[in-house]
Structure formats: C-alpha cells, structure tokens
Structure 1
Amino acid sequence: MKNIQNIDVKGVVMKTFAMLASFYVMFLAFGVMKYSFTLLGGQWAEDLVKVSHNPFIYFFIGLLGAAVFQSSSAVTTIVVGAVASGNMSLDDAVFIVMGANIGTTVTSTIVALSYIDEKSVFMRALSGAALHDFFNISVALIFLPLELFTGFLSNLSQKIAFSINISDMAISKNYFSNVGLGLDKLVKLLFSNLIDYPWGILLIAILMIVGALKLIGGVTKQVLMEGKDFNRGEGFFFKNDAVALTTGTVLTSIVQSSSITSSLIVPLTATKKITLPRAYMFIMGANVGTTFTALFAAMATGTEFGVEIALTHFLFNFLGVLIFILIPGIRKVPIWYAKKLGFMAAKDRIFGFLYLFTLFFVVPFILVWISL
C-alpha cells in the first residue's frame, strides 16, 4: 500500500502523455508523407506490380514500397487490387508481402537516429530497432526459398481460405475503419485542400519528420531516463517472455501497426529499461498482432483474393515466430546481429545512416530500376 501511495500518479500520466504525443506527431508526419506519395505515385505503384514475373524483384518491390509508404498495409492494398484484376497471381503476390514485411521496419530505424547525439545511447537504440529488421530478414531467408521451390505459403493459404465459408463472416466491414489512431482521416482533413500540390505536402512531411524526431529524442530521454515510475510499468508489461510476447501481440492488434509498437521499443532499449531479449519477444508478438486486423477485415469483405493474401501475411509472421520460439539455437541470431550493428554504428555513427538508406532504399531501388 505504501508503494502505491508513493507513486506520483499525475507525474506518470503527464510523462506517458508526453511520450505518446511525441510519437503521435511522428506518425502523423509519416502519414502526411504517405499521403503525398499516394498523390504523386499511385499509378507508378500500380505499374510496378505489373513487372514481368521475377520473385526476387517482387520481393524488393515490396520492401521498397513499404519503406516509402511507411506501411506494409498500403502495399498489400495495391497487391490485392492487382491480384483481383488478374494482373498478378497469388504466387507472385506472396513475395511482395514478404518484402513489405521487412520494409515496414524502417520506421523504428528512423526513430533510432533521433539518439545519434550520444554514442552509447545510439548503440542501444539502433540495436533495439534492428531487432525488428533482422527478425523479419531471418524469417524471409527461411520462407522465401521454401515458397520459391514449393509454393508452401500460397498453397497453404489457398487451402485454408477454401475451407472457410467467407459469406458467413458476420464482422462489420466498418468496424475496422474505426479502430486505430485515426491518422489517415486526420491527414486527409488537414491536407484535402492541397491535393494539387503533392510536392508541397511532401516538403511539409519532411519538415514534420525532422521536428518530430527532435521532439522524440528530447521527450523520451527526459521521460525514461528521469522517470523512475516507468520501471513499475516496465516490470508489468515485460515481466517475462510470455508477457512481453502477449503485450506485443495485443497492443499491435489494437493500433494496427507493428511500425508504431516496434518504434516504442527503441527508447526503452536506448535507456536500458528493457533488455534486447525481452524486446525481441515483444517484437515477435507485434509481428503476429499486425496481421490480425487485415485478416479479419479481409474475411469481412468476402473477397477470396483478400483473404488469401491476408492469410499469407499471417502465416508468414505466425510460423516465423513459432520457428524462432521453438528452436532456441536460431532464436539468438537476430539478437547477435542487432548487437553487432549497434556496436558498429557506435564506432562510426555515419554507419547508421548508411545501413538505413542502403537496406531500405538504395539496394531495392537499384534492383527494381534495373528490372524495369
């Protein structure tokens, strides 16, 4: 009882609000950027998915698209339309979904750059962000060749979709549009009068992102480094591996984005509030949670193609998590690479920028451009 009385409730609430508000500003900035790219390149994005059959190019198209749009959901929406119109087969769409799963992790890496001023803090921040990258890359290394030679994921998703009576799904289609952070609606409300000036919207987005990163760096350092009451929350939500995994799954299914929840991990690892292994379990849960909304929404729409692609995304993430949980030997691989990356970036901080732009933009752009 004494411990409860000693907690500064008002202080905890204010600090929590300050930290969440700073992240909301950043994701609003990403939403503005996504909106500008939608205005600039909607037709270009649709043309990309019509490229000649090449699984590896499709994979990098998904990676590049999700990195640019800051959302794997945006890429998946385009893919659903392409499959439904007959411009792409499900077998090809699977590889775009795999790539998009990696591309969407760019957000947490960008957040880590807000800690670049201090070497040790930046090392921990980038390691925490890279956990998401290396986990999804590791899962892709397992399932990409398996899908390429056997069609495992596409065949399994088709069989499951065939066994489901989609017409009996009673979930309201409008329910899912009312869940989440309302970013898309807010962005459209703010910039609907500027649709003829997409480059101007893009410039505003870039300025917002720079400002948001500075805000995040300042707020989270103050909140997490000086806010001792956060240790109580950390002890509850990351009490053990099972709790961390469940927290990641539930929280991500609520906010509909693994980019958001995995980014919240960055300041926690940067300030040593949680360890990398515990953050790793949370991120694996986030990977599963991010597939739920799209999966249920696709079932509610009653479209076979949407259900198959959503199932493919779910199976890719869910089976990947199972593999890395059940096989202890490979569980440590992403953690080792994340630590190594953080150490290298601490020695030479420009390495963090090179890693970000090379993995998420330069390599996929060059490969896609060559193929076109």
Structure 2
Amino acid sequence: MMSYGERVGGPAVSPLPVRGRHVVRGAAFAYVPSPQVLHRIPGTSTYAFSSLSPVTLTEHSCPYGEVLECHDQLPAKLVQEEEQKPEPRLSQKLHQVGTKLLKVPLMLGFLYLFVCSLDVLSSAFQLAGGKVAGDIFKDNAILSNPVAGLVVGILVTVLVQSSSTSTSIIVSMVSSGLLEVSSAIPIIMGSNIGTSVTNTIVALMQAGDRTDFRRAFAGATVHDCFNWLSVLVLLPLEVATGYLHHVTGLVVSSFNIRGGGDAPDLLKVITEPFTRLIIQLDRSVITSIATGDESLRNHSLIRIWCHEDPPEAPTLMSRIEANISLANTTMEKCNHLFVDTGLPDLAVGLILLAGSLVVLCSCLILLVKMLNSLLKGQVANVIQKVINTDFPAPFTWVTGYFAMVVGASMTFVVQSSSVFTSAITPLIGLGVISIERAYPLTLGSNIGTTTTAILAALASPKEKLSSSFQIALCHFFFNISGILLWYPLPCTRLPIRMAKALGKRTAKYRWFAVLYLLVCFLLLPSLVFGISMAGWQAMVGVGAPFGALLAFVVLVNVLQNRSPGHLPPWLQTWDFLPHWMHSLQPLDGLITRATLCCARPEPRSPQLPPRVFLEELPPATPSPHLALPTHNATRL
C-alpha cells in the first residue's frame, strides 16, 4: 500500500491543502469522502466497492478524470434492487414472469409510437420550414461557396429533420443540371451533421437523472463529434484536391451501372399506414421551389387529392411530372386528419410539432421505465455482457467492425439513421450499451443511411443515373473516410473522449445541453454562413485568428492535464483570467437564480459516494506546514 502523497512510478509530492473537509487535488489526486471506492473486477465488466484506504492507480482502477464514469458505468441501482429482495415464492415468480411477458408487447407498442412520432416530427418541420429550405437551395451563387454550402446543408437538414429529404433535393438539383456535383459535396457533408440533432434532442428527455443524462448525452453527441471532426479534415481536403469528386467519378465511369426499381420500403410498410392517417405531404413542392419552378410556390404541402393507382415515379422530379399529368385523371380526397381543415401549412406544422413532441417524450419516458423494470438483476448483467463484451483474442479488434455491420443493417431496415440512433440513446442512458460500443454502432448507422440513398439513386432514370449515383457515392465515401480517420486506432477515437467530456459537463450543468444545441446547430452555422458570404478575405481574417486561438487553448489544456511542468507557472492554470472566462459557474449562478422558483432538490443515492466534479476544483498549492487530516484520501 502506497503512502499518501506518493505518485506511481515517481517521487513523492508535497502534501495537499485542505479546504473545509475536502483535500484539494493536484495533478493526480482527488479526495473522495466516502468509505468505499469503486473498482472494476479484472477480466469482466462488473464493478465492486473496495474497502476504505488509499488505492494505487492500476490498470483496473478508475482512470484519472473519470470518477463519475466509474461510479455509474454499470446500472448498479438495477442490480442492487434485485439482489436485496428475498427469494420469491412460486406464485410470485409466475406473477413476475406474466407481468414481464405483458410488458414486452407494451414496450414494442411504445417503440412503434416512438418511431411514428419521429416521422410526424419530420413532417411538422417540413410544413413549418420546407419552403424556406427550398428557397435556400434555390440560390446557386451561395451554394458555389463550399463553406456556405456546408452551412446550408446543416440548416436545411435541421429545418426538415431528415437527411433523406435534403439529400433527395440535392440529387434532384444535380440531376436537373442546376447544381454541379463538386458544389453539392459540401452540402452532403452538412446534411450529415444536421441529421445528428434528432438523437441529441431525444437525450434531453433523460435530463431528470444526472447519471442517465450524462451517459445519454455522451452517447448522442458522439455522432456530432464524429461528423464535425470528419468535416474539419475532409472539407479542406476536398476543396484543395477534389478527392471525393474524383474518386466517385472513377467509380461511376468504371462500372456499367443500370437503373433498377425503387428502393425497398421495410419499416415504412409498418409505420406509413398509421402516419398517413395523421398527415400526408406533397414533398415535390419543396423540390420544385429548389429547382426554380415557381408554379407550385403557392401550393400547400398538405396533400388534399390522392390517386388510387399512381404511375411509377422513381424520382422526385418524375413525381412532379406525374402530378402534372394526373390533372385530367380521376382523383379522390386523401384520408388524413388535416385534409379539410383549411389551416395554413405553418399552423398545421406547429400543431404537429407540439403533438409529436408530447408523444415522443411520453413514449420515451414509458420506454425507459419499462426497460428499468425489465433489465434487473442478472438480466442486466447478461445483456450488458452480451452487448459490450469483445470477441476473444486474437479477434478482439473485429468486435467494433461487427458492431458497425449491425448498425448499418439495422439502419437499412428502419431506413433512417435518426430513428436507429434515437432508439439506442435510452439504452445508453441506462448503461446497457457503453459509449465505446455505441460509437461503432453509430458509425455503422452512417453507412446504413448511405446505402438507402444509393438504392434510391439506382432507381433514377437512365439519363439522370450517373449524377444521382455519384452524389450518393460521395455521401458513402465521406463516411468511409471519416471511419478510417477516427476509428481504426484507439488513439484516434477522439469523438469518444469529446463526447465523454460533453457528458460530464451536462451532468453538472444541465442547461449546457440546450446551449450546445443552439450553438452547434443554429448560432455557429449562421455566424459562419454570414462571414462566408462577405468573401474569402473576411473568412480568412476571422477564421484564422479564431482557429489559432482554439488550437492554443486545446494545447494548453492538454499540457495542464498531462505535463504542467512544461508550462510557465502563470499558464499552469487559467486563474489569471476572469472567472467567467474559464468556468461556467458564474453563468450557472445566473441561470439558477432565474429558475429558482422551478428548481427542486435532488435526492442523493445512498449506495454511491457523493459526486466529485474534478474539473472545477482549484489546483493544489502545496505547503509543507499544512496539517493533513487523520482520515484517508483516495488516490485516483
């Protein structure tokens, strides 16, 4: 047992100061005022509490800076509730089995409503902002700027809540000759970023419990981090070399690709009968506005008249032509809730937005409660081991790629990466799926949504097949390139570390999640869009200093955590700056005072030690004359 104040593999350090009843940590210490310390049992995913004493940091201990994760890695409350109960009788066992069997179809029903609410939510956003999205796409002078094109892809996908819709508009514009393939590639990258907002919104529904919220938010934002990092590398590379444009052009010209039938409808076969009773949209209106056709500008997106046996229309452009050709044919009124209301598109969109959000939140809360009741005791252990355990050596490295195949397959079945990532977000929050396993599942989901786009492109007519297929391949190769950048080596999996940092921040400041959504998907893209429209000189003049400052801050933070001795004394902490510039506490105080009337105290769990937020503790100021307390401190 090492003595207090001793480093592993290094000389002893000075005693640490005490403030109140807490020892203030240095670079590798924290005081945990609890009689128990959580440790992982070697060779398993199980965590157990050890006895009171200072503990050396070993490969099986909690790594520095991740105390919260170690306390909450396994859903211990689910296991302990089951283990503390006495052995039930036979009648009680039968009752429990019957109850669980009844909960399974209920859970599937709530999952069905959850998926349908996501579809209706997408329709609501299209009603509220679809024509605006079409007008944004209409200006080709803006889209010729790669940075502006990226931002347009983000904003339009956030507006319509569907990367498939935005990608279809892009494919139609390229097919009609209104947009070059090279100009469409940044927009495709932006749509990849915008589609990740849905599961981040779903993660907000678990904000009631800090532990679940931390895990859920980290699991949702790992998708955002991957997309942003991929764009930061691949967009400059594409502008400089035309990498994606040339590679996909070679693929298209090398193969004799023939158009086929429509892309298969799998999950939509189950969900469309219900969602079509709520609302039916004529999405060709958005495409016609984007392609410069003003004939449908005053036409409502709400479909009023339908045809029993519509002709085959494999692309959105041919659907417009088909709708025009049906003018003299027999039509009948559609059967949905808003067919005869006479309400404008915006009003219907807001009504559907409110209703779908209520259903979405309710289904998610009920799903989480049912999962909590079903995943107890040994069931939780078995499921977690099956999902999170790697393949045996020497095939351990294959596990992540197998998870990608699973994620791609499931996304192909549901035909939406948003639906798949939103469905696994509650499981990540409960601790059933680890963030390390959710990462390859999310990457596979990115691949799965591109395969659906490829099949849809193959359904294009012969004269438009080449450009449509090339755009779909650009989306596919963008995600493949991102995986090659940020997955094969463990040291390159930066999205996991970034997502964990965001999760820890939201665990302490839950309002930070809303701020993150507004900044990353609205304010920052709008700011970049405005600067880019001023010309490349303004973009370089503003972007270069900001990028240099950001790189400097990241470098200093890394050195402060890993090697503070290489920094000058005044730069070893950020205390020389005003408090509001290096901490969220002042802003948190303002928000807390503003929302004090709505706040309620949180119950503290008796099983786990109190939370210690390491990042906000001040740095150590060692003093040899400072008396240490008689109780123990834990080495982290």
Q: Which residue of structure 2 lines up, in the alignment, with residue 310 of structure 1?
A: 472
Which structure would you say has the larger Rg? 2
- Tell me which of 179, 183, 196 is aligned to 2:266: 179
Conserved? CA contact 2:383–2:432, under 8 Å: no
> Residue deviations 1:76-110, cap 9 Å, x none?
01111211222211111110110111110111111
Contact preservation (8 Å) 1:59, 1:98: yes
* Distance (whole Å) between structure 1 residues aligned to residue 472 and residue 100 of structure 2: 38
**Contact residue 261 and residue 286 of structure 1 kept, 8 A:** yes
Which residue identity lines up with residue 272 of structure 1 in the other structure?
G
Greater shift after overlay, 225-234 or 295-304?
A: 225-234
1:135 to 226, 231, 251: 226
SS of 1:219's partner is helix
CA 185–211 in structure 1, closer or farther in 2 if over 3 Å, else same: closer
SS at structure 1 position matched to 2:268: coil
For the structure 1 residues 294 and 44, does the alpha-carbon distance in structure 2 shift closer, same or farther, using more than 3 Å as the test? same
Q: Partner residue of 2:198?
A: 107
Query: Post-superposition shift, 1:238?
Result: 4.6
> In the alignment, which residue of structure 1 is the partner of 2:514?
353
**Match runs of 1:1-372 below 5 Å:** 14-51=102-139, 52=141, 53-167=144-258, 169=259, 171-173=260-262, 175-176=263-264, 178-182=265-269, 183=271, 186-192=274-280, 193=336, 194=338, 196-197=342-343, 198=345, 199-224=347-372, 226-228=374-376, 229=379, 232-240=382-390, 241-242=399-400, 243-301=402-460, 302=462, 303-331=465-493, 333-368=494-529, 371=533
- Residues 20 and 131 from structure 1, CA distance in 2 versus in 1: closer, same or farther, beyond 3 angstroms? farther
Q: CA deviation at 1:237?
A: 4.7
Distance (Å, rounded) in 1 between the aligned partners of 2:387 and 2:504:
27
Q: How many angstroms apart in 2 are the aligned matches of 1:263 and 1:46?
A: 27
AA paired with 1:310?
A
- Taking the aligned partners of 1:21 and 1:238, their CA distance within structure 2 comes to 26
Compute the displacement of 1:359 (Å): 1.1
**Closer, same or farther: CA 237–13 of 1 in aligned 2, 3 Å:** farther
8 A Cα contact 1:15 1:223, kept in partner: no
SS of the aligned residue for 2:152 comes to helix
The RMSD of aligned alpha carbons is 2.6
Question: For residues 54 and 117 of structure 1, do their structure 2 counterparts lie closer, same or farther at Cα, with a shift above 3 Å needed?
Answer: same
TM score, norm. by length of structure 2: 0.53
User: Which moved further from structure 2: 7-16 or 307-316?
Assistant: 7-16
Give the Cα–Cα distance (whole angstroms) in 2 for the partners of residues 322 and 64 of structure 1. Answer: 27
Alpha-carbon distance in 1 for matches of 2:420, 2:97: 24
Counterparts in 2 of 1:107 and 1:357: CA distance versus 1, 3 Å: same
Aligned-pair CA distance for 1:235: 4.1
* Residues 118 and 360, structure 2, Cα contact 8 Å, conserved in 1: no
8 Å CA contact 2:117–2:357 kept in 1: the answer is yes
Query: Deviations for 1:135-194, whole angstroms, at most 9, x for unmatched residues?
Result: 111111221111111111112111111222122x5x422x52x22234456434322452
CA distance change for structure 1 residues 237 and 300 in 2, over 3 Å: closer, same or farther? farther
Q: In structure 2, what is the Cα distance between the partners aligned to 1:208 and 1:296?
A: 29
Q: Which residue of 2 is the match for residue 3 of structure 1?
A: none
Q: CA deviation at 1:366?
A: 4.7
Aligned to 2:586: none
Aligned letter for 2:266? Answer: V
Give the % identical residues. 33
Conserved in 2, the CA contact under 8 Å of 1:135 and 1:334? yes
8 Å contact 2:252–2:466 — kept in the other structure?
A: yes
- Match for 2:174: what amino acid? V
1:353–1:41 Cα change, 3 Å: closer
Contact 1:166–1:300, Cα closer than 8 Å, also in 2:
no
Report if aligned partners of 2:420, 2:445 keep a CA contact under 8 Å in 1. yes
Residues 37 and 269 (structure 1 numbering): CA distance in 2 closer, same or farther, change over 3 Å?
closer
Contact 2:117/2:359 (CA < 8 Å) preserved in 1? no
Offset, 1:259: 1.0
Q: Which amino acid aligns with 1:155?
A: H
Number of residues paired by the alignment?
Answer: 362
Distance in 2 between residues matched to 1:82 and 1:89, nearest whole Å: 8
Contact 2:130-2:160 at 8 Å conserved across structures: no
Return 5+ residue gaps in structure 1 as ranges: 1-5
Pair 149,129 (structure 1): closer, same or farther in 2 beyond 3 Å = same
8 Å Cα contact 1:22-1:212 kept in structure 2: no
Cα shift readout 1:332-372 (whole Å, capped 9, x = no counterpart): x1111111111111111110111112211233245446749
Could you tell me how far apart the structure 2 residues matched to 1:12 and 1:164 are? Answer: 53
> CA 1:47 to 1:200, structure 2 compared with 1: closer, same or farther past 3 Å?
closer
Residue 292 of structure 1, CA deviation = 1.0
Cα contact 1:66–1:72 (8 A) shared by 2: yes
Alpha-carbon separation, structure 2, partners of 1:13 and 1:365 = 50
Q: Secondary structure at the match of 1:189?
A: helix
1:43 offset after TM fit, Å? 3.9
Structure 2: 5+ residue stretches without partners = 1-92, 281-335, 391-398, 535-636
Shift, 1:18, TM fit = 3.9
Contact 1:245–1:281, Cα closer than 8 Å, also in 2: yes
- Relative to 1, partners in 2 of residues 1:112 and 1:42: Cα closer, same or farther, differing over 3 Å? closer
Aligned residue type for 1:307: F
Counterpart residue type for residue 249 of structure 1: A
- Give the letter for the 1:350 counterpart: W
Moved more, 213-222 or 278-287: 213-222
Find the aligned partners of 1:294 and 1:44 in 2 and give their Cα distance. Answer: 23
Write 1 or 2 for the structure with the bigger share of helix.
1
Q: In the aligned structure 2, how far is the partner of 1:172 from the partner of 1:89?
A: 25
